Amino acid sequence: MNDDAMRDEWYPVGLFSQLDRGGRETTLMGAPIKVALDANGAAKVTGEDGRVLPVSVRYGHIWSSLGEPRKPVFPIPEADQPGRRFVDVGVVRVRCSPLRAVENFLDIAHFPFVHTDILGSEPHTEVEDYKVEIREEEDEVWATQVKFYQPQAAKSASGGITTEYMYRVPAPTCSVLYKTCPPRPGEWDVIALFVQPLAEDLCDVWPWMALFDDETPLTDLIHFQQTIFLQDRSILENQIPRLLPLDPGMEIPTRADLTSVAYRRWLKRHNYTYGAQLVAQ
Amino acid sequence: MRLYDYVLSPSCYKVRLMAALSGVKLEIRPVDFHPGAEHRGPELMALNPGGSIPILEDGDLILTESSAMLGYLAAKAAPAWLGSGAPEETARIQQWLSFSHRLTASLGGARLHEMLLRPGDIGALQANGIAALRELEAGLFEQKMRGNRFLACDRPTIADIACFPYVALAPDGGVSLDPYPTIRLWSRALRSLDNFIEMPGIHRLHELKPEPRPCPDEA
Ligand SMILES: N[C@H](CCC(=O)N[C@@H](CS)C(=O)NCC(=O)O)C(=O)O
Ligand SMILES: [Fe+2]
C-alpha cells in the first residue's frame, strides 16, 4: 500500500502568463506553497519550510508536486502543432473533490441537462455505444468513438451537429478531451481540465484549450468555456458525498458512465485516493 | 446600444436580462474580466474610471451604474417596468435600487472570493450577505401581505431586476437560500416571465415544463 501515490504526481499551480516576482500563495494537497518567478525569470515553487519543489512549465501553466514525480508532465502532442490557438481560461475554485471535477468532465450524459442548448438539448439525450479502455503502455484511461448531438458544439459552430469526442485521463486530476473541430474537419479541438487539489474536498480548476479557430476573438473563446464550466460548478458543489466514492469491490456499469467506471478502476489500481472515499456498496 | 459585458458578471446580466425582457437589442462587447482584468486596462478605465463593468454606451451617453442602465432601457422600451409613478411605488423602487448595491458588495464579493479567488474577508462578506437576504425576505413577505408579488407592486419593476441576480447566485459564494421561502417564490415568479434569459448558475424553470405522463405500460 502506498497512501501517498498522488503526492508524486504533477499538479497545475498557476498561469505562467500571470506570474511575477511577487508570486502567489496557494495550497497543494493541504500544504501551503508559494509560486513565483525567480531572478532569472524562471518559475519557482517553494513549500512552507522553504523546501524547493519540482517545477515544470507546460501548456500555459506552472506544474509542481509535493513528492518526486517519476515522469515529466504528461504529453499533449497537439500543444506543439502549428496553427492552433492556446487559450488560458483562468482559474475557478470549486468546493468539491478534485476527482469529482474530473469525473464530471468525463460524463457526456449530463450535457442536455446542464449545458442545455449549448452542448446538448432534449430530446437528444441518448449516448450511443462507445469504447473505453485503460491503455497499459501509456497508463491512461481512454474513451473513443463517443458521438453526441450538439446544438452549439463550439464558439465556431453555427447550428447543431453530431460531434465526436475522445477522452483521456493521463494523470489523476487531469483530463484532456478531443472533439470534432467545426472549421477543420479531420482535426480535433483539444480542451483540457487541469485540476489543482487544495484539499480532499476543494480544488482550483484551470481549463485550457488548443483550438483551430482563427476568427473568434480570444475573449469570446474564454467566455464560452467559462460559461460551460460555471454550469458544471453549481452541479459539482451540490454533489453528495463531497468525496468520490470508490467501491473496493465491483461496480455494475451502465452504458453512459463507462468512462467513469474505468476512471475509478484506474484510480484504485494506482492507489490514487486523495479526494476519494472508500466504501463498500 | 453597446454593452461592455462579462458572461459571469451578475451586474452585466441585470442589463442583458432587462434588455431581453423589454425587447431591446444590445451589441455585446465581451470584456476579459477574468483572467485578463481587462476592465482595469487603459481602454476601459478611460470609459469608466471606476474600473467596473457593466458599461453601457448609447451615442454620447455612457452609463457605468447598472441601476441607471435598467432605468434607461425601461424608459426607452418598456415604461411599465418603471412602475405607475405613484409616490409610494416610486419610493419603493428607489429604495430597492439603492439596496441592490449592498447585495453586490456582500453576496457579489463572497462569490468573487469563493469562485475567482478574489482576496477579501469571506466571513464578513457572507455575514453582510445574510443580513441583506433577511431584509429582502422580510420586505417581500410584507409585500405579499399587501397582495403584491414583487418588490414595489404586484408587477415586476426594475427594482426586482436589480436585486434578483446576486440573490439567485448567493450559493456560488457559499450562502444558502434555503432559509428564505418568500425569496424563492419571488425568484420563481421572475424566472417564469416571458423572454426571461439564463446565465450560468441561474437556470430556467424546468419545473414549468409539461408534467411527465406515466409510461403506458406502467399505467
Ligand atoms: N457600478 C456597479 C458595479 C457593478 C460591479 O460590481 N461589477 C463588478 C463585476 S460583476 C466589477 O466590475 N467589479 C470590478 C472588480 O471587481 O474589479 C454597477 O453597475 O452595478
Ligand atoms: Fe459539464
Count the domains in chain B.
2
| Portion of chain A with pLDDT greater than 90, in percent | 74
Q: What digits encode the pLDDT tens for the residues B159-212?
A: 999 999 999 999 999 999 999 999 999 999 999 999 999 999 998 886 544 455
| Contact (Cβ atoms closer than 8 angstroms) between residue A238 and residue A114 | no
B14 lines ligand 1 (CB under 6 A): no
| Topology (CATH) of A1-73 | N-terminal domain of TfIIb (2.20.25)
3-class state of residue A180 by DSSP: strand
Q: Are residues B175 and B138 in the same domain?
A: yes
Q: Is residue B54 in contact with ligand 1, taking CB distance under 6 Å?
A: yes
Lowest mean pLDDT among A68-82, A254-268, B99-113: A254-268
Query: pLDDT at residue A2 above 60?
Result: no
Count of helix runs (H) and strand runs (E) in chain A: 4, 17
pLDDT at A151: 86
In a domain, B164, yes or no: yes
**What pLDDT score does B50 carry?**
98
Classify residue A252 by burial, with Cβ atoms within 10 Å: 0-12, 13-18, 19+.
Answer: exposed
User: In which domain, by residue range, is B163 found?
Assistant: 83-191
CA distance B38 to B30: 10
How many alpha carbons fall within 13 Å on the CB side of residue A165? 30
CA distance to partner chain A, nearest, from residue B35 (Å): 5
How high is the pLDDT of residue A1? 40
Report which of residues A124 and B97 the model is more confident about: B97
Q: Mutate which of A226, A227, A228 to disrupt the B interface (most B C-beta within 10 Å)?
A: A226
pLDDT per residue as tens digits for the range A191-207: 999 999 999 999 999 99
- A116 shares contact with chain B (CB less than 8 Å): yes
Residue among B40, B19, B22, B21 nearest B31 (CA)? B40
| Segment A122-136 mean pLDDT | 88
Contacts of B38 in chain A (CB under 8 A): 219
Question: Would the pLDDT of A52 be above 90?
Answer: yes
* B79 CB within 8 Å of a chain A CB: no
| B191 to chain A, closest Cα gap in Å | 16
Please report the pLDDT score of residue A266 as a whole number.
Answer: 96
CATH of the domain at B13: 3.40.30.10
Report the pLDDT averaged over residues A257-270. 92
Superfamily of structural domain A82-277 = Naphthalene 1,2-dioxygenase Alpha Subunit; Chain A, domain 1 (3.90.380.10)
pLDDT category of residue A160 using cuts at 50, 70 and 90? confident
How far apart, in whole angstroms, are the C-alpha atoms of residue B70 and residue A57? Answer: 45
| Nine-digit cell string for A234 | 453549481
Q: Which residue has its alpha carbon closest to ligand 1 atom 20?
A: B66
Pairwise CB contact (< 8 Å): B115 & A88:
no
Q: Tell me the CATH number at B144.
A: 1.20.1050.10
Residues of chain B where predicted confidence (pLDDT) is lower than 50: 208-210, 216-219
Mutate to test the interface with A, among B3, B5, B6, B7 (most CBs of A within 10 A): B7
The interface predicted TM-score of the complex, written ipTM, equals: 0.91
